[in-house]
Structure 1
Amino acid sequence: MKIKRDTVLKVKEKMELMDFLSFHLQGKSKNNLKSLLTHGQITVDSQMVSQFNHILTVGQEVKINWNKDREIKKMQGVQILFEDDSIIVANKDAGILSVSTGGRDENTAYNKLKDHVKANNPTNKIFIVHRLDRNTSGIMMFAKTAEAQQLLQSDWKKYILSRKYSVLTEGKVENDKGTITSWLKENTAFVVYSSKTDNGGKKAITNYEVIKKTNNFTLLEASLETGRKNQIRVHMQDLKHPIVGDKKYGATGNPIKRLGLHARVLEFIHPITGKEYKFETQIPASFEKVFKRMRKR
């Protein structure tokens, strides 16, 4: 098989990565270019980037690796959005555990990414920084060094600038925006319950804004000021509008066949370089479909 040499391009003016690739690779369709990004074949200054709207600056080097082993990047249920020597940012599907719960289940984002980094060098490691529930999809971050992990975990609020979630709830949320504040505590059955007064648990604050709504469903964006276990799920129950598919916290149905919760935006300061990054994903199509069904009736 003929090996195609990497293409190396210098950035001469500030622009988005997709526009840059379209200009220099004019024989490739947008789908071809998105495929290169999705499969981790584009690096900017030796850092893998998969966001098509990543902003390039003058002097940077963009490399296209035509021969990259795509099977490493096409990990079922996990897509790498960004990777450098210190961190990995990935988008995980609903149904994939973030980390092992102690059983023999190896279908976790952690194990998939661990295998990925070890494929490049058997001594490489990854470290847990935070978690998403198994049935929550979206963006999460792992550290690749103990130093990066320690910095992120010791001062999470310093480095994490914004976390936003797409939330599909049952019923019509009346207020278009609001803030929910309560104290959350887990009982022996591993159910988190909420109290408006200090119950010895952890204070939790969730801000929300309605994106669209009908009498049956509301799509809203929630942003976290704190990161407590099951925080958004419990706070939507407090709002009397449980998340679709969340039987544990009061949902009565599951028309989308999954939990209606997706970690859509992660904005942070890189713990080692100090550079700011913002990663966004699309609102899951299944969240939008319930509104299309309602219009057809």
Structure 2
Amino acid sequence: MEEITIIVDDKMDGLRIDKALRDKVDLSRTKLQKLIAEGLVCVDDEPVKSNYKVKLDEEITVDLPEEVEYVVRPSKMDLDIVYEDDDIIVLNKEKGMIVHPTASTKELTLVEGVLYHCGKLSDVNGVLRPGVVHRIDKDTTGLIIMAKNNQAHEFLAEQLANHKMSRKYFVLVHGVIGHDHGTIDAPIGRDPYDRQKMAVTDKNSKDSITYFTVIERFENHSLIECSLKTGRTHQIRVHMEYIGFPVVNDPKYSFRKQKGDGQLLHAHQLTFVHPTTEESMTVNADLPEDFKRYLQELREEVGYNE
């Protein structure tokens, strides 16, 4: 799969994305609209609709799949379902599971298991992202909400865009944080030196705010709870590395010795307004066993148990 990256310039500013791209990529308008509908055109890592108007300095990525198109394969798998009704399903995602496929994905993804279980999901974000309202990283565990129909999807997506959906994470970081609470207000964009990573940067970035509270301190680590005002790619991981307390076992943003696979970051609480009842709901997910074991080892090092 080929990826094309374009930064919005003065001439493109304010144009519909399909029109803005017409002079930048050698594709017909029909092909562009098809890629947009399939969720393969993103602005700052988020898929957009064809009527989206681009803004100066935004980063557009266009994924050009091979001629053989990826087909989402509904597949039976063990799902940890925390809540489900006719409109939504909330799951506790395990480590190592990708949320949705891309044109180059070869392994099964969460949406394929959910699609098998539900039969149908919303198609707002295209054929490769059925039901996906928000994402969490492959090795991040915890809660993710998916929509079964377009009405529910749009209702939830609006909450997310307006910062009305609350997401809280337990995170184990290297280092002992001295203060009990903190706010990290630092813009995040693509790392100018490594396009596979995000970074705190003033270039082609977006405002990013993370709040944290220290839950427990150890000899050389801290357990914190993070909440997000914004939801940028890898936001917690980037922000914690930026202030000098990288997430434990983070293969991308921590240069410390790893002990296990994947970052110790768990989405433990999700609060939202239900799309049909319009009542506030809060769901919780307990820490995974490997996270618990790591904490127990740290407690034993300092001479006390839970």
**TM-score of the pair, normalised by structure 1:** 0.68
Q: Specify which of 192, 205, 226 is matched with residue 198 of structure 2.
A: 192
Counterpart in 2 of 1:237?
Answer: 241
Q: Is the counterpart of residue 138 in structure 1 residue 149 in structure 2?
A: no
Q: Is the counterpart of residue 81 in structure 1 residue 85 in structure 2?
A: no
CA contact (8 A) 2:251 2:263 kept: no
Q: Secondary structure at the match of 2:118?
A: helix
Residues 85/296 of structure 1: CA separation in 2 closer, same or farther (3 Å cut): closer
CA distance in 2, matches of 1:178, 1:161: 20
* Residue-pair matches, total: 219
Q: Secondary structure at the match of 1:128?
A: coil
The correspondence of residues 1-297 of structure 1 with structure 2, limited to 5 A, is 75-76=77-78, 78-118=79-119, 126-158=130-162, 160-187=164-191, 189-195=195-201, 198-297=202-301
Deviations 1:169-216 (A, max 9, x none): 112122221000111001462210103xx4331111000011111132
Deviations 1:71-109 (A, max 9, x none): x9x933x31111112111111101000101322434211
Deviations 1:250-292 (A, max 9, x none): 2412224331111100000012321211001112333343343
CA distance in 1, matches of 2:264, 2:82: 22
Q: Amino acid of the residue matched to residue 213 of structure 1?
A: R
Q: Amino acid of the residue matched to residue 167 of structure 2?
A: R
Q: Amino acid of the residue matched to residue 93 of structure 2?
A: K
Q: Secondary structure at the match of 1:248?
A: coil
The alpha-carbon deviation at position 157 of structure 1 amounts to 4.6
Higher helix proportion (structure 1 or 2) = 1
CA contact (8 A) 2:190 2:204 kept: no
The alpha-carbon deviation at position 217 of structure 1 amounts to 1.5
CA distance in 1, matches of 2:259, 2:175: 13
Q: Which runs of 5+ in 2 are unaligned?
A: 1-73, 123-129, 302-306
CA distance in 1, matches of 2:251, 2:196: 14
User: Which portions of structure 1, spanning 4 or more consecutive aligned residues, are displaced by more than 4 angstroms?
Assistant: 123-126
Residues 89/108 of structure 1: CA separation in 2 closer, same or farther (3 Å cut): same
CA contact (8 A) 1:180 1:207 kept: yes
**TM-score of the pair, normalised by structure 2:** 0.66
Q: Which moved more, 1:176-185 or 1:247-256?
A: 247-256
Counterpart in 2 of 1:11?
Answer: none
Counterpart in 1 of 2:42?
Answer: none
Q: Secondary structure at the match of 1:107?
A: coil
Q: Secondary structure at the match of 1:241?
A: coil
Q: Amino acid of the residue matched to residue 195 of structure 2?
A: A
Q: Which moved more, 1:217-226 or 1:147-156?
A: 147-156
Q: Which runs of 5+ in 1 are unaligned?
A: 1-71
CA contact (8 A) 2:271 2:281 kept: yes
Q: Secondary structure at the match of 1:279?
A: strand
Deviations 1:125-145 (A, max 9, x none): 552111111000100011111
The alpha-carbon deviation at position 150 of structure 1 amounts to 2.0
CA contact (8 A) 1:86 1:148 kept: yes
- Aligned-residue Cα RMSD (Å) equals 2.4
CA distance in 2, matches of 1:179, 1:124: 36
The alpha-carbon deviation at position 158 of structure 1 amounts to 4.8
Residues 215/101 of structure 1: CA separation in 2 closer, same or farther (3 Å cut): farther
The alpha-carbon deviation at position 159 of structure 1 amounts to 7.5
* Identical pairs, percent: 33
